[in-house]
Chains A and B, each alone.
Chain A
Amino acid sequence: MNGHSPASSQEITQICLLAGKIILQNGGETYRVEDTMVRIATAYGIESSHSFVTPTGIIFAVDGSSQMTRLIRISERSTNLHKVSQVNDISRRIGSGNLEAHEAHLLLKEIDASASAYPVWLQVLAAAVASGCFLIMFKGGWHDFFPVFVAGGAAYWFLVTLHRIVPIKFFAEFIAALLIGTLSVLFVRYGFGFDLDKIIIGSVMPLVPGLHITAAVRDLMAGHLVSGLSKGAEAFLTAFAIGSGIAAVLSIY
């Protein structure tokens, strides 16, 4: 029925879990994790498998002659859609029947270990440029481009750096928002910027939890109520951290 030689269900379970783990850790939607794991299992001849995925862990069970249940805890999450896309490609190849189990396992391990992200300076530059562009999109003037560029870039760099030192995500976001507020107020006070509101809105945009909101909605749609709600809560907390950071500066200023 498909061209795979039989692999042990132990190895198949490991492949499924690794694929699921990579997708979940790098910002993929929950339904994609479950879908991918069940597809891989089916392609390798396991007819009945069950998975339960939340943002912080995966439970995967295999039915049949050799029953097995495994659990993986996810503690570190980041956003790397390139890896999600790579795992998706591998899952497609497995599904179409031209990737052997051990080969797939090696490829997945390679993806997991690789650091295939853009360099930090490029991301900071992207955040700075994006902030500047948002200023123009929100009908700000070009004379405010420079302060937004600096504040947005600095805040993103600060967020990335601080996140490495302090593992509490919301704290890092709060401090980054404080930085944006302070920089913007200083720019306006010393005559480099003009419209304080527009400067702050533009610079805050790279911190906005857009990915979480989209993922949360799609999870809720697909019936993954637990992960949809918890991702929504994460998005809300992020928004709250940013908002209170800005509010703190505004109330002082």
Chain B
Amino acid sequence: MMMIEQLVTSFIASAAFGLIFNVPKRTLPHCGAVGMVGWLVYVIGMQLSAGAIAATLMASVAVTVISQLFAKQYKTPIIVFSVSGIIPLVPGGLAYDAMRNVVEDNYDLAVQLAVEAFMISGAIAIGLVFSEVINQIIKGRGKHAIDRYAGRSDRR
């Protein structure tokens, strides 16, 4: 029951973010789906007590992989899908807790929380890089004639 609640809210939140970023109308459900899968991976990771950093890493890899599949299938820039999927993973809560402890003069705790928030942001970044690298390796040589002509790899 808790899980269904989480899935539905993460789907709606990610689709709503797609709306804020003005993504094309037909891709709104896909944005929601990307966000939902990312959040599902994160929640499962947390329940398996993998720790917030590892869970975020796995979730951001999942988000990017699915975004790449969607981007390829619908011939739409990948940022359309990945952006709304990444948003739920951003450590807003931790950053807030850190800020709150700064205000309350608990600098030790604040620094601890801020470093954790920073590490989680790093995990998101590494997840993005990681699946991007895999994508580049799998694609290998550019398929389109124009890529060969221009002598550059296909980054779309």
Contact A213:B79 (CB < 8 A) given known A35-B155, A126-B16, A129-B12: no
Interface check A57, CB cutoff 8 A: no
Q: Are B103 and A250 in contact (CB under 8 A)?
A: yes
Count A-B contacts at CB 8 Å.
Answer: 160
Interface check A144, CB cutoff 8 A: no
In A32-80, the 8 Å CB interface with B consists of 32, 35, 38-39, 42-43, 79-80
Select which of B17, B87, B96, B150 is within 8 A of A126 by beta carbon: B17
Q: Are B86 and A201 in contact (CB under 8 A)?
A: no
Q: What's the dominant secondary structure at chain B's contact region?
A: helix
A107 to B24 CA separation, bound complex (whole angstroms): 17
Interface check B140, CB cutoff 8 A: no
Closest to B104 in A: A250
A116 to B77 CA separation, bound complex (whole angstroms): 17
Q: Are B149 and A211 in contact (CB under 8 A)?
A: no
Interface check A215, CB cutoff 8 A: yes
Q: Which chain A residues lie closer than 8 Å to B17 at the CB level?
A: 126, 130, 206, 210
Closest to A250 in B: B103
Closest to B100 in A: A250
Q: Are B103 and A85 in contact (CB under 8 A)?
A: no
Interface size class of A (residues with CB under 8 A): 35 or more
Question: Chain B interface: which of A5-13, A23-31, A163-171?
Answer: A23-31
Q: Are A122 and B19 in contact (CB under 8 A)?
A: yes
Q: Are A247 and B99 in contact (CB under 8 A)?
A: yes
Closest to A23 in B: B77
Interface check B112, CB cutoff 8 A: no
Q: Which of A79, A206, A218 has the most CB of B within 10 A?
A: A218
A-B contact pairs, 18 of them (CB 8 A): A28-B79, A35-B155, A42-B149, A88-B75, A95-B146, A126-B19, A134-B88, A134-B92, A136-B9, A137-B39, A201-B92, A206-B20, A208-B92, A210-B87, A210-B90, A214-B86, A217-B129, A218-B132
A sample of 20 more A-B contacts (CB under 8 A), given A134-B13, A243-B99, A246-B99, is: A35-B156, A42-B149, A42-B150, A81-B21, A82-B24, A84-B80, A85-B80, A123-B20, A126-B19, A126-B20, A130-B13, A130-B20, A134-B92, A156-B20, A206-B20, A208-B90, A211-B21, A214-B83, A214-B86, A217-B128
Interface residues of A (CB under 8 A from B): 26-29, 31-32, 35, 38-39, 42-43, 79-85, 88-89, 92, 95, 116-118, 122-123, 126-127, 129-130, 132-134, 136-138, 156, 197, 200-201, 204-206, 208, 210-211, 213-215, 217-218, 221-222, 239, 243, 246-247, 250-251
